[in-house]
Amino acid sequence: MPEDTSPYYITTPIYYVNDSPHIGHAYTTLACDVMARYQRLHGRAVKFLTGTDEHGQKVEKSAKAVGKDPQSFTDEVSQRFRDLADFMQFSHDDFIRTTEGRHKKGAQAFWKRLEEKGYIYLDKYAGWYSVRDEAYYQESELIEGKAPTGADVEWVEEESYFFKLSAFEDKLLQFYDANPQFVFPTTRFNEVKSFVKDGLKDLSISRTTFNWGVPVPGNDKHVMYVWLDALTNYITALGYPDEETDDYQKFWVQQDGDKERKSSIETKDYEFKYGKAVHVVGKDILRFHAVYWPAFLMAADMPLPRKIVAHGWWTNEGEKISKSLGNVIDPIALVNEFGLDQTRYFMMRHVHFGSDGNYSRGAFINRINSDLANTIGNLAQRTLSMIQKNCDGKIPEDARLDSDKKILTYDAESKLSHLHDANYLDGDMGWKYSDTLSDLVGFARNANEYIDAKEPWRLKKEDPKAMADVLYTLVEEIRHIAILLQPFVPDSASKILDQLAVSKDERSFAHLLDRNCIIKPGTVLPKPAPVFPRLQEDESKGAA
């Protein structure tokens, strides 16, 4: 597997600060966090961006409802998102707020650029608007007087600037054709394509009836439409409008030697500039990212994102999550009750990324107990306890990998390339978080079966050399699994590696493959402690 160290840029949506963070927000950021950690373990320079979307009518209304001015309201709520990210120990490199000077400056520069290129004109908007969705709807899209999302709509008539979105119908379709992997998953990509094929109308991109937004350059009666403002966060966080910053060059623009380099994409009629960004979003906001954002960038003649990844939605015990139903899942409560890594594991394992998922307390507890406590945790604990008890806490001096180790799944290299070749996480067909975890648990299950078959406790008297080899083989197997588990359950994986006395700077995928980094016979191991305790069902909290 060739080493790849080219830069990797991954972003979460920026979250509206109208409300407290919930499981949906934590989920999107978690998916990015796992991918960011995975790419770093491959040796890539990663930029992982998250932040908050603070302008617009929805946020202004929420501030008013609690009697606060929008700035102090957004300061407060944005801080809650930052606190959640810290609490979840996400490894983001930057947190952008759209009320920051660096962002406003970039958003305005982007507007001017669209204007200079001739894609903005002034007219009048008369139509439906949903404040909850911050989206315009056609009359024909409404269902029983409401937005297709179920949100209320209101009639808006005001002077407005428009973006010539209609000019990009053909360009977008050619771009999609040339990039069959632009949107993950494919089913959602098909929805995007048919939306564009149905025809694009010019998009209203400014509002005049409130002023909580980025002023339109040259006409401050208008504020920028919150989605145009928000989407530019992906470049303003890299230093745009300065396109010479290291970050912009490294993470936005493709360079020679970049892994996913395609240079410009030639199609029948157009040439597109190809960028590097991977934007992870929920399925509800795919259209903004896969249609509007590339159209804005095409108009500005700037590199396009490399990929838009859309995930599904969580329900709670089968019900749609909503404040009015009072069934919002608080990620902080989950972590406090079950543990951080347990929560991360459940969210990544329970759902095939891209599909909808249902949280249920019972499923959570069963999953953690069967995969983490009974399989991976048990493997580590029984192996390490045997070493303590039978080998004085030391890897026996002359231990070798068991020649019969083939009954274990793979050696280190084939484990990693198995995940890699199956494009589990990497590559265009990737994003298979759940399958990856299922395979890692499978490796641990095989290792447990290997213990049962070899009965090292019996070998202790009969053939101590054979026992040493079996235990050594297991210790190596656990090292492999723990290294590969790091993106998902970083804290627990690190505890397992500590118990194997693996040095902190020998835990990357390159070290996994490096024969010099295998555990050395003679290594003294610390006393083992269980890493994944069994979760107990609490009767008062509902049935499992």
Note the residues at the interface with ligand MSP (CB under 6 A). Answer: 13-16, 24-25, 27-28, 53, 230-231, 233, 281-282, 284-285, 313-314, 321
Q: Which is nearer to ligand MSP, 235 or 285 (CB)?
A: 285
- Shortest Å distance, C-beta 150 to ligand MSP: 13
User: In angstroms, what CA-CA distances link 471 with 142, 460, 461, 477, 498?
Assistant: 65, 11, 14, 10, 17
Q: Which is nearer to ligand MSP, 25 or 306 (CB)?
A: 25
Using CB atoms, what's the residue nearest to ligand MSP?
282
Cβ atoms of residues 136 and 204 within 8 Å: yes
- Shortest Å distance, C-beta 264 to ligand MSP: 25
Let me know if 23 is exposed, middle or buried by CB neighbors in 10 A (0-12, 13-18, 19+): buried
Q: Give strand pairing partners of 146.
A: 143
Q: Which is nearer to ligand MSP, 36 or 419 (CB)?
A: 36
In angstroms, the CA 179 to CA 306 distance is 9
- Shortest Å distance, C-beta 135 to ligand MSP: 10
Q: Which is nearer to ligand MSP, 280 or 500 (CB)?
A: 280
Task: Kindly state the helix (H) or strand (E) to which residue 251 belongs, with its residue range.
Answer: none
Task: Please count the residues of the chain.
Answer: 544
- Shortest Å distance, C-beta 230 to ligand MSP: 4
- Shortest Å distance, C-beta 334 to ligand MSP: 14
Contacts of 83 (CB under 8 A, 6+ apart): none
- Shortest Å distance, C-beta 98 to ligand MSP: 9
Q: Which is nearer to ligand MSP, 260 or 284 (CB)?
A: 284
State the Rg of the chain over Cα: 26
Q: Residue 13: which of 359, 275, 218, 311 has the closest Cα?
A: 311
In angstroms, the CA 267 to CA 136 distance is 31
- Shortest Å distance, C-beta 314 to ligand MSP: 4
| Per-position b or e across 361-372, b if 16+ CB within 10 A of its CB | beebbebbbebb
Q: Which is nearer to ligand MSP, 201 or 320 (CB)?
A: 320
320: tokens are: 């749609």
Q: Which is nearer to ligand MSP, 56 or 377 (CB)?
A: 56
In angstroms, the CA 45 to CA 39 distance is 8
